[in-house]
Structure 1
């Protein structure tokens, strides 16, 4: 490789590093870097798969995919059935490698799913930082059946940069989440110490005024009723900001919240594991919403929680024996509360399942990996 080639490679690495250092959102950053890599390297097509804790791949970024791979009916870019994903999951993909023939492209061509634009092969390279693995990056060009050693080395260098950037962004997101929780806790304490105490004082003063009788008795009683209602609302808001008892575990916190609303919470659990704070709080928020729904809509004052704790997975099953409702699983969830519960689970790469029928109660199953 000549001096000019070395200079060109260093320029590419510098431009990629600058883009990665600017990134704060993983999906957006990966797309921008992939686009830039194709622009400066002369390669034509690229795509990146990231993997969750269960080994399931997600197409996170793609640029210039041919129509065959964009087929909306057959969805060839979904699923784990290809050589590069298989070797990544089994630990055999350790460095940038030539794929002799891409199975996704091969299937698309054989099944006439669309034009492949001359793509048949690609290079694949793992994305990692140290011993931590995140996914794979595939690069292809029309008519290119094999990548040179120098090209694979360049892709491997870029992949290391991408892996380090993914780790940096995720650590930043975790730190931001911790800071947010701390700020909510501080605000909850302030509300408890100031506003809630003032409302309690107003309640006592109104009670004392009404006990004296006289023509203002009705006014004092109304003030007492309003301030008591405001106290209840403030107490619920403080629970929203800082779940009381969550430091004692999610089961303890859910029981406490149920007691506050007059709903009996029956719990069972299998296994013991320490949950990450973000997952524990998300499960709490989902459970809290379920208790609210039980109190408001189920027509019952009892709800059941069953937890299954596994080394890298937690499953929370919530069930009530209330009135239930009609729901078509192919349609959008019918309430903001249920949609929020689903969004919380899926934001952590988990799943949310709703089972309900009129007169047969409601069951919610939440599964979150960690």
Structure 2
């Protein structure tokens, strides 16, 4: 544990070194927060990320009092407060003392005897240039107000953290670009080699059917033609997943294009305006793709209905078919239908996937993703 008398220059140096070394966002923020508390009079702290729509996320916290930490930091996770409101309104420009904090007040009400308790805190925006990411809050027991020098130090640390956040976000964007480029390369390779080879086998099988009069040989060639055509459809769908055409004009056009590849007739209905973050749109698109794959492979029908509803907080997707359906116990025995993949994709963005299905009564997949 470092001394609380660690000089400001030494502290800023240690925090800068940590920020430069870390590559994972939450681990970086947690480490920086810990070093800040170890080297200053600040005793506890927490960091909110605040999205473009004003939605807050508790991304890191350190040494919280029991009142704030109880029930999975309920008082920090939910509700509103002055500092977040001022941040959303663009009124919070520098480190400031918060005279009244609704979150702390509500948390302290849950405790009958308050001794050495947090009652006030300081806040500072985390930003890089004009790009804002969230808030760093710090507090100390029995401290109503921090001095100007302490707030100036807080601003210096916030500047460092904001720059590090921007660096990690840029790195992730570069990784995403590299991933897209690799997908495109793989899609080209598959199209130029395997896809063309399968197409050639299909033509060869068709020629074999016409060249022989023997029923058994004809049947063999027809089976080869059928299986190759199925493999060709699968390959085209895979290539399309790697490099979807039409997604750049929106998820609905993308799904229509994918439905065409699979030979499905889709009835798509939309409520609300689709203006989703890129990660949410891609997650929704990939889940819908998996659902359409299931319909083609397992339902016995070539028609599906898709309903997309966009609210102020969530996007809802329903993919419905009137095929053979399943008993729920059978779903757990059919890994090929990718149910776990859909759940994993939804969970990665704090969403959910549910199924309503019954033998001979079709299947309905329900997806909810917050954004």
The TM tier, using the shorter chain, reads: 0.7 to 0.9
Q: Indicate how the Cα distance of structure 1 residues 296 and 194 shifts in structure 2: closer, same or farther if over 3 A, else same.
A: closer
Deviation at 1:46, TM superposition (A): 1.1
Partner of 2:331: none
Q: Please say if residues 206 and 225 of structure 2, whose CA atoms lie closer than 8 Å, have aligned partners that are also in contact.
A: yes
Q: How many residues align?
A: 357
The CA distance in 1 between the partners of 2:21 and 2:78, in whole Å, is 31
The CA distance in 1 between the partners of 2:57 and 2:340, in whole Å, is 22
Partner of 2:267: 266
- Is 1:193 the counterpart of 2:195? The answer is no
User: For 2:71, what is the secondary structure of its paired residue?
Assistant: coil
What TM-score do the two structures reach when normalised by structure 2?
0.80
Q: Please say if residues 68 and 109 of structure 1, whose CA atoms lie closer than 8 Å, have aligned partners that are also in contact.
A: yes
What TM-score do the two structures reach when normalised by structure 1?
0.80
Partner of 1:330: none
The CA distance in 2 between the partners of 1:90 and 1:80, in whole Å, is 17
Partner of 1:285: 286
Partner of 2:110: 111
The CA distance in 2 between the partners of 1:88 and 1:210, in whole Å, is 72
User: For 2:64, what is the secondary structure of its paired residue?
Assistant: coil
- Is 1:252 the counterpart of 2:253? The answer is yes
Q: Please say if residues 83 and 102 of structure 1, whose CA atoms lie closer than 8 Å, have aligned partners that are also in contact.
A: yes
Deviation at 1:33, TM superposition (A): 0.8
User: For 2:166, what is the secondary structure of its paired residue?
Assistant: helix
Deviations 1:12-37 (A, max 9, x none): 11221222122322111111111111
Partner of 1:237: 238
Q: Please say if residues 294 and 322 of structure 1, whose CA atoms lie closer than 8 Å, have aligned partners that are also in contact.
A: no
The CA distance in 1 between the partners of 2:27 and 2:295, in whole Å, is 39
Partner of 2:320: 320
Moved more, 49-58 or 212-221: 212-221
Q: Please say if residues 282 and 344 of structure 1, whose CA atoms lie closer than 8 Å, have aligned partners that are also in contact.
A: yes
Deviation at 1:263, TM superposition (A): 2.4
User: For 1:20, what is the secondary structure of its paired residue?
Assistant: helix
User: For 1:60, what is the secondary structure of its paired residue?
Assistant: strand
Q: Indicate how the Cα distance of structure 1 residues 216 and 271 shifts in structure 2: closer, same or farther if over 3 A, else same.
A: closer
- Is 1:76 the counterpart of 2:78? The answer is no
Q: Please say if residues 236 and 261 of structure 2, whose CA atoms lie closer than 8 Å, have aligned partners that are also in contact.
A: no
Name structure 2 gaps, 5 residues minimum: 329-333
Q: Indicate how the Cα distance of structure 1 residues 242 and 368 shifts in structure 2: closer, same or farther if over 3 A, else same.
A: farther
Partner of 1:171: 170
CA RMSD of aligned residues (A): 3.6
Where in structure 2 are the equivalents of 1:1-370 lying within 5 Å?
8-72=7-71, 75-112=74-111, 118-213=117-212, 220-269=221-270, 278-295=279-296, 301-307=302-308, 315=315, 317-320=317-320, 322=322, 337=338, 340-341=341-342, 343-344=344-345, 347=348, 351-352=351-352, 354=354, 356=356, 362=364, 364=366, 366-367=368-369, 369=371
Name structure 1 gaps, 5 residues minimum: 328-333
Deviations 1:215-268 (A, max 9, x none): 865654554444333323322221221223334543233122223333211234
The CA distance in 2 between the partners of 1:179 and 1:259, in whole Å, is 28
